[in-house]
């Protein structure tokens, strides 16, 4: 009977062939040719005109000191409502509209311009019109709302934006806005420094419901799209 072959011998690896290193391996960024990446954040800063600065005196909160992030476009919404009372002029978009009552307000009560201002300020991430132009400041008593919208436009342009388009809706039971719509639109476009083709104005009744439908108040909504110049 043939004898089984003995199993093959496994060579032994000598000890300490690879002696442990007593040196730690540390590398600097320069040795590895890795340079830290530097990022740059682009910000837009808001400055305040002399008119706004004076409006914020006397304990009023200043405009936000936080820099706004630069975006290709920004969207803002504005809303305003005023009570209608006899003995006041009815001014909409800077146009005096014949009516038996008008807006009771600290300034001229232009509900459309007020909500346009708020829409622009909101798009820029700034406080609302009441905080920048407080209604307890005698300086703004009876002031034309064109002052407020010019300041909003100045802030918009200084921040590097321009009006992409604007869509506004007036809500009132009376009077009819349609005979005055083109004049309102033309004046609003001029105040904004915008082409009339990017300014849209609509008017709705309130179907005789609540104060708006009972000719006791007037309201407006505005949405603006601001685009980076």
pLDDT (tens digit per residue) in 16-69 = 544 454 444 444 434 434 344 444 444 444 444 554 555 444 444 445 434 567
**Greater confidence, 131 or 215?**
215
Q: How would residue 10 be classed by pLDDT, with cut points 50, 70 and 90?
A: low
Q: What is the pTM of this model?
A: 0.71
Strand partners, 200: 167
Question: Beta 161-171 vs 217-228: how paired, if at all?
Answer: antiparallel
Round to whole Å and give the CA distance between 120 and 222: 9
Give the pLDDT score at 7.
58
Q: Where are the domains of the chain?
A: 75-228
Report helix, strand or coil for 203: strand
Round to whole Å and give the CA distance between 199 and 184: 10
Fold observed for domain 75-228: 60s Ribosomal Protein L30; Chain: A; (3.30.1330)
Contacts 24+ apart (CB under 8 A), 144-148: 144/94, 144/107, 144/108, 144/110, 145/91, 145/94, 145/107, 145/108, 145/110, 145/113, 145/114, 145/117, 146/94, 146/113, 146/191, 147/51, 148/107, 148/113, 148/114, 148/117
pLDDT (tens digit per residue) in 184-197 = 999 999 999 999 99
pLDDT (tens digit per residue) in 80-129 = 999 999 999 999 999 999 999 988 877 788 999 999 999 999 999 998 88
């Amino acid at each position: 009977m043939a004898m089984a072959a003995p199993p093959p011998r496994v060579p032994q690896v000598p000890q300490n062939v690879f002696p442990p290193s007593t040196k730690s391996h540390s590398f600097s960024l320069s040795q590895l040719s890795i340079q830290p990446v530097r990022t740059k954040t682009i910000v837009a800063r808001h400055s305040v005109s002399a008119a706004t600065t004076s409006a914020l005196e006397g304990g009023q909160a200043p405009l936000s000191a936080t820099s706004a992030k630069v975006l290709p476009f920004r969207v803002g919404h504005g809303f305003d409502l005023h009570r209608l009372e006899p003995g006041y002029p009815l001014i909409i978009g800077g146009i005096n509209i014949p009516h038996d009552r008008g807006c009771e307000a600290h300034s001229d009560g232009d509900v459309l311009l007020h909500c346009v201002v708020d829409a622009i300020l909101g798009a820029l991430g700034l406080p609302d019109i009441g905080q920048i132009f407080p209604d307890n400041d005698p300086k703004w008593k009876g002031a034309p709302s064109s002052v407020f919208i010019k300041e909003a436009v100045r802030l918009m342009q200084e921040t590097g934006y321009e009006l992409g388009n604007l869509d506004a809706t007036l809500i009132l039971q009376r009077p009819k806005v349609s005979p005055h719509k083109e004049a309102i639109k033309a004046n609003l476009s001029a105040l904004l420094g915008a082409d009339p083709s990017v300014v849209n104005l609509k008017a709705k009744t309130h179907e005789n419901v609540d104060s708006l439908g009972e000719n006791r108040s007037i309201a407006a909504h505005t949405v603006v799209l601001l685009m980076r110049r």
